[in-house]
Amino acid sequence: MALDKGTPVYSSDGEEIGKVATVVADVQKDIFSGISFKHGLLGTEHFVPADAIGELTDQAVHLNLSADQAQELQHHSG
């Protein structure tokens, strides 16, 4: 599945916490590592490891983390 930049990212408590900035993967090895998301145009990118993603569709990413937990994720420099 292709996940587009700008796809909404939701916390486990249903809050939209940002938009997909990048998909982190090794296409040649077929390994999906996770995504980074950003809240707003000037927001910091946060990396979400694959095991913290509960559901991934072409319409949205739903995390297994609350909004507060998601904001504590490590920063991602793309």
Q: Is the pLDDT of residue 72 over 80?
A: yes
- Say if residue 78 is exposed, middle or buried (CB neighbours under 10 Å; 0-12, 13-18, 19+): exposed
Predicted confidence (pLDDT) per residue in 52-63, tens digit? 999 999 999 999
When pLDDT is cut at 50, 70 and 90, the band that residue 43 belongs to is: confident
Q: Is the pLDDT of residue 66 over 70?
A: yes
Q: Average of pLDDT values for 32-61?
A: 91
When pLDDT is cut at 50, 70 and 90, the band that residue 1 belongs to is: low
